[in-house]
Structures are given as structure tokens and as C-alpha cells.
Amino acid sequence: MEESRRRALRRCRVRLVAALRVAPLWAPLEARGVFTRAMIEELQVRAGAGSRGDQARQLLIDLETRGRLAFPAFLAALRDTDQAELAELLSRACDASPTPVPTPPPLVPTPPPAPVPTPRVWSPHSGRSPVQEASSKWPAAPTGSAFNSMERNTDLVYDLKADPCGYCLILNNVNFSEDSELSTRAGSNIDCEKLERRFKSLHFDVMTRQDLVAQEIVRELQKLARLDHSTRDCCLVVILSHGCQTSHIQFPGGIYGTDGKAIPIEKIVSYFNGSNCPSLRGKPKLFFIQACGGEQKDQGFEVETNSPGDDARRFSVESDATPFEAPSGAPDELDAVASLPTPSDILVSYSTFPGFVSWRDKSSGSWYVETLDNVLEQYAHSEDLLNMLLRVAHAVSAKGRYKQIPGCFNFLRKKFFFMCK
């Protein structure tokens, strides 16, 4: 499909998803060869057969992949099903799409030729070969344990000497009130138990709280932030709950209390910043969020190999998704100016990309926590946190029929190595 037509579909997607009557379109689109019957059934399964909006969104996404004749065939199908106003909307958007003008490559000046060095004549009387002469000017590269020791002793590594090294608060929401219209998060207790064991083994003082309403979550976080962390070297917060999109300035997403009220992630993080938690200034503050970033389901794109065993598990997975909801009440007050940037020394690890769902298996827990626990077990003794989170993202992205990619917002100033003895 031409790029101008792709842009028109994307520009009009919100209005089309809101107004499109999908059911009458299947027959004319099949008759025009845009989709086969099997493709239509697969699309309906992926989008959810009972949801018109999800089917409309998925139809528009898949339409972009159906070749150059798909767009005019779609317009004709709209007119055949008495949706001519939507066809005209797309036609106008397509006509208004500017044709991109290719930008010529910048002129790169040709560098002058490198001077030819005057050859040195090696004399056997000097006692050293040319290779020995050159190698003597360079220090030997550190290898093995010598390299790890040098890396950890630099100024760019957080110093963890206290034992326990810090507090770890795990908030585990499983059962939600009927009024919240949020489902029970089966499998979350498995996540919670894994992380309790893992962070205790990494020398954290672990505290667990379960099934808290939003106000109780806020109180627990504020209580943790008010503790004296002067004898600790870091702080860690894990949140296992349903999640959603929220309006934000710094950190996207929000999590739900069991009463269905949302708390923005950036509000949670702000309790521990340099202004609000003085005893953690300059110390790493780590947040791990197992919750959806929205309700969009990622179909991924085709690759040559499939993940083994995922087909057998896909029917027991659930998402922690809930619709977008703007936070209520007045915005948070701005933080005071500090000697370090206020949100410094903070890392927020998300189980999924903002706007997308996060998958959880009823019998083995969430993909993100299961993988994080495995990676910490194998690599916490030798690798820094960011490198391990790359391993988590790589492993989770290969799972399942639906796709998920974890990521993080990193404002750490140094490398973080867990304490392993």
C-alpha cells in the first residue's frame, strides 16, 4: 500500500474506530479479495469477536498489509454498506497527504590522505622486534576476574556495602472489588513468592502487602519513603496489579488499587525523589511494575522461527489491561530544586511498552516476573542491572502468540550491581 494511503488510515483511525460498522464489511472485503475467510476469522479471534471497536482497529491495522488494491477496495466496501461518509473522509485525508520529498544526502568533504610514515629499519643489534617495540607502548588489557574487579571499583558503580542493602516493598493486588469491574489476577501470588525469595537472597529487607485499595497503597509508599534510609544503600519497590494509561509528564502509566482507583506511576516515584526522601538522596531507587500500560494487544510481526511451547500455554494467559483513565484531582506540586536533579538515581522497569497489555499465566505467573527471576538467578552475581533487563526484554519478546516487550525509564547515574555473597 502506498505511504500516502497508510498515513490517511492512521490519521483517521480514531474517527473510524468510533464510527465504523464492521460486520457488514466482511462479505464485500472477502468478495474483492482483500481478505480470505480464514484471514477474517483469524482477525476476529485476535481482536475479540465480541468487541466492535477492537475489530475495527485490527481491521485498519491489517488493511495496511494487504497490498496496493486494498485501499480502493475498502473505500468501495464502505460505499456498498452505506458508510459513504467514512469513505469520503479517507479520500480527503489521502488527497491531503503531502508527498515526501527525498532529502539529498549531505556533502561530506573528502578527508586528506593520511601521511605515509617513514619506515623504520629494525636492526638486529637493538634486541627488540618491531612488534615488541609497538606492544610495549600499550598497557595490557584486563581479562576475567581482573576486569570485573576493575569495573566494580570505579566511580561509576553504586556502592552497596550495607547488609541488608535496602528495603524492598512488594505490593501484590490479586482480588478486586466487584464495583471496580477488574478481574482476579490469578497467578500473581506465584510472582509475589518468587520475588520475595529472590530479593531476600539479594540481601533486601522484604516487606509484602496484599490487596490494598488505592489510598492504602499511597499510605504504604509514603510510610516507606519516611523511613530512615541513612544506614541503607538503596530502595526497591515492586507493584503487581492491574494497570492503565494515564496522563503524565515524566513516567507513563498507572496502577489500580483493589477499589478500581488509579494511581499514576510518576506520583508513586515522586515520593522517593531527592526532595521528598532526603535519606535516599544519591542512592538508587528501583521500581518494578508488573501491570498493563494500556489495552492494546501486540500481534508482533512474522519471523522465521516460533517460540517452542508457547501454543500450549496461550489459552491460560490473561492480561492486566484496563482502559485509559486520566488521573483525578489536582496535579502534583513541583519538586524543590536540589543539588542533584530531583528524579536522579531512579529506574522504573515496566513489564510492557506504554499502551500495551502485559500477559500473565494463571499457573506460572506473569511472563515478565518469571523471566526477571530467572535472569537474576543466573546473572545477578556478574552483570549490572541494565544488562540483565536487556536479557529480560529479549526473552519476553520471544514468548507467546500475542507479544510483549518490557522496557525501562533509566535515570541512574551509575551502574547498579546487586549484592551477592
| pLDDT tops 90 at residue 151 | no
Highest mean pLDDT: which range of 41-45, 228-232, 310-314, 362-366: 228-232
Q: What is the mean pLDDT of residues 324-345?
A: 42
Number of residues written out for the chain:
421
The pLDDT value recorded for residue 217 is: 96
Judged by average pLDDT, the poorest of 16-30, 38-52, 95-109 is: 95-109
| pLDDT tops 70 at residue 335 | no
pLDDT, tens digit (0-9, with 9 covering 90-100), for 95-127: 775 544 444 455 445 555 555 554 444 444 444
Highest mean pLDDT: which range of 205-209, 327-331, 362-366: 205-209
**Domains, the chain, ranges and CATH?**
3-96 (1.10.533.10), 166-411 (3.40.50.1460)
* Mean of the per-residue pLDDT values of the chain: 77
pLDDT, tens digit (0-9, with 9 covering 90-100), for 361-406: 777 788 899 999 999 999 999 999 999 999 999 988 877 666 678 8
44 and 55 Cβ atoms separated by less than 8 Å: yes
176 and 183 Cβ atoms separated by less than 8 Å: yes
Highest mean pLDDT: which range of 63-72, 83-92, 181-190, 410-419: 410-419
5 and 71 Cβ atoms separated by less than 8 Å: yes
Confidence (pTM): 0.57
Would you list the DSSP string of 179-191?
Answer: GGT----TTHHHH
3-state secondary structure 309-338: CHHHHHHHEEECCCCCCCCCCCCCCCCCCC
Q: What is the mean pLDDT of residues 275-298?
A: 80
| pLDDT tops 80 at residue 5 | yes
Q: Write out the catalytic residue numbers.
A: 242, 292
